[in-house]
Amino acid sequence: MKLRFLGGLVLAHMVGCAEDPGKVAVVVDHESHASPAERRSAIGKSLYKSRAAREAGDCNRSLEHLSTIESARAAWNLDLDPQSESAYRYELRSCASVVEQHLLQSAAESPLGAKIRLEARAKSFPIRELRERDRALLSRIVAIGQARCLSIGATPQANGPYVARAVHQYCESFGASGPVQLPLPHAASTFAVTGSVDGVDHASARALRTRLMAAFARTSWYDASSLATATGRLSGYAAREVVSSQLQVERPRIPLLMRRTYRMVEERTAKYSFGSRVSLEGPTGPYEVAYTGDEHIERVRSPGETFVREPIFTPVAIAFADQVESIVANFVADLNAHYNDRFCAAERYTTEEAARCALGTRVAIPAAAGSALASVFGTDAESLYRVSPP
């Protein structure tokens, strides 16, 4: 947040940027005693800065100052005098025209990139007149994108299942229909798991299997249109080891005796350990996802010198249930990393291989894959997918 002192007022505003376009300009008046004249003076200074920024060729900065004015007018319920209103409209339309012309020029080469920048501008500069202009401009950019979509979809490269899926995603950005989507050869639509976990009951193992089958849909190996089924075999363990020891415990000081006394008590420690392994077959290829949980310690002390009854520790099944979330999260992360290792680690890519990497990876695609996709999408490849620097 930036604080600007204008005419005795503190104008605080946050303006959206590419990293966080959800931020919008806000104006805060910290001096309730400021007179209308002082407020108009503050707006006049913002108008001056807007004009200076425009003349310096920085229309984004100019629009930032105009957003501050727009927010101030709403917060203060303030009408501008005719001269200031005219200056405000002139600055707004001048810079809006420059930005719009630039966006239309860039849309000829990168309609998706232009659309993304326009949407970011709309969030960054919440000016009523700009919203109306943005809607008209968006319609023109979308029309360019739809034409590009049809052009790409008609190329021979769009016949493969992976490029066709990528083109479909691209066309969806403009509300258009892309090529027919084919099932992805590497993927499966269902995941069947069998097996058990030593040390827990069947219900606990079944609950884990159910969670794993549902979590498969969050991995890069899932495709709802696929006819294939991946299979997995679950194994694992959940154990608790109890050991005991004698502890010398100091009693509170006895004032009458003015000395310390001690007593012996028994302490029992339970050590819990967990582990699981899912052996997969099918489209993922033979692959194992292993998990080892952190050792969990639980201690109980006897009320007397020894335990008259067996101490009550947390049941193994309950302790294991606390591990299920971590097991499932590890399963998803491991399979996604396996996808990257298998399909996104090449030095060179065909367009199909590049699209296969891009469709499943959760991180930026390699620069070599980005170059291959650029032969299909042009500079919009970097707008459609994140591309690592070369």
User: pTM value?
Assistant: 0.76
Strands (E), the chain: 2-6, 9-13, 190-195, 229-250, 262-281, 287-292, 296-301
Which domains are delineated in the chain? Answer: 2-146 (no CATH), 155-184+353-384 (no CATH), 190-341 (3.30.160)
- Please report, in tens digits, the pLDDT of each residue of the chain (390 residues total): 343 434 333 343 333 333 333 333 333 443 445 677 888 888 889 999 999 999 999 988 998 899 888 888 888 887 888 888 899 889 999 998 998 999 999 999 999 999 999 998 888 887 888 888 999 999 999 999 999 999 999 888 888 999 999 999 999 999 998 888 889 999 999 999 999 999 999 999 999 999 999 999 999 999 999 999 999 999 999 999 988 776 756 566 555 555 566 667 788 889 999 999 999 999 988 999 999 998 888 888 877 666 667 778 899 999 999 999 999 999 999 999 999 999 999 999 999 999 999 999 988 999 999 999 999 999 999 999 988 776
Confidence at residue 189, expressed as pLDDT on a 0 to 100 scale? 95
DSSP secondary structure letters along 55-80: HTT-HHHHHHHHHHHHHHHHHHT-PP
What is the DSSP-derived secondary structure letter of residue 255? T
Confidence at residue 127, expressed as pLDDT on a 0 to 100 scale? 85
Is 142:174 a contact under the CB 8 Å cutoff? yes
Confidence at residue 259, expressed as pLDDT on a 0 to 100 scale? 58
Nearest alpha-carbon partner for 376 in 350, 357, 339, 345 = 350
Alpha-carbon span 144 to 9, nearest angstrom:
45
Confidence at residue 250, expressed as pLDDT on a 0 to 100 scale? 59
